[in-house]
Amino acid sequence: MVETTPAERKAAEKIFGSRLDLAERYVEHLATSGMERGLLGPREVPRLWSRHVLNCAVVADLIEENARVADVGSGAGLPGLCLAIARPDLQLTLIEPLERRVIWLNEVVADLELENVTVLRGRAEQVAGDVDADVVTARAVSALDSLARLTIPLLKGRGVVLAIKGRSAEEEIRKATKAIRRLGGRETSIVTAGEDVLEEHTTVVSILVG
């Protein structure tokens, strides 16, 4: 069992509510088979809750009810699986090109019995025709100018991209502005999530399309 601090526990209870047990089981998967298969390093295990799971799950506050969400470069399910657990009303498509990660994601989805998740193997640009999304999420995939090319086409001309970023967000937006506009991005802004529950909020670049 991955230990939580009192603050992490309080935040997790508020974010996941009655589905906290699913979040705990997901964290156990990350700390065991996820680490063993190289989806994340052993140094990350003590901070799985604060730096990874809670940090991602609060992005759910930025997503409308019953939205179809595509998570690009899902990897260990961050943020895709966190969103699926926190918000059972959402329909998640996890897009991941690497087979070993896809196998792991499918195992976790089956174990947690997440009926609102589909795992799709491929690169975002390859599967664009198979995805119909209102929201596209991404975390630690690439710089924003490249990420825009991967995410915006999945929206079919209308929706929002939510990219979890750090302190470089403003600089990345500046460099990516032309590419975003060319792809149909109408408004790009920095928004935050989790200020009311996390010690350190999550920074998100929001790109409104259409």
Element (H, E) at 91: strand 91-96
Categorize the per-residue pLDDT at 75 as very low, low, confident or very high, splitting at 50, 70 and 90.
very high
Q: Which of 30, 24, 134 is nearest to 85 (CA)?
A: 24
Categorize the per-residue pLDDT at 196 as very low, low, confident or very high, splitting at 50, 70 and 90.
very high
Categorize the per-residue pLDDT at 167 as very low, low, confident or very high, splitting at 50, 70 and 90.
confident
pLDDT at position 1 is 75
Q: What percent of the chain has pLDDT over 70?
A: 100
CB 86 within 8 A of CB 16: yes
Q: Which residues are 137's β-sheet partners?
A: 71, 162
Res. 82: pLDDT tops 90: yes
* pLDDT tens digit sequence for 95-105: 999 999 999 99
CB 11 within 8 A of CB 21: no
Q: Which residues contact 100 (CB under 8 A, 6 or more apart)?
A: 37, 38
Res. 141: pLDDT tops 80: no
- Domains along the chain? 56-209 (3.40.50.150)
pLDDT at position 174 is 94
Average pLDDT across the chain, whole number: 95
Mean of pLDDT values over 57-82: 97
Residue 79 preceded by cis peptide, ω within 30: yes
Categorize the per-residue pLDDT at 185 as very low, low, confident or very high, splitting at 50, 70 and 90.
very high
Categorize the per-residue pLDDT at 46 as very low, low, confident or very high, splitting at 50, 70 and 90.
confident
Helix ranges restricted to H, 79-185: 80-86, 99-112, 124-127, 144-151, 169-182
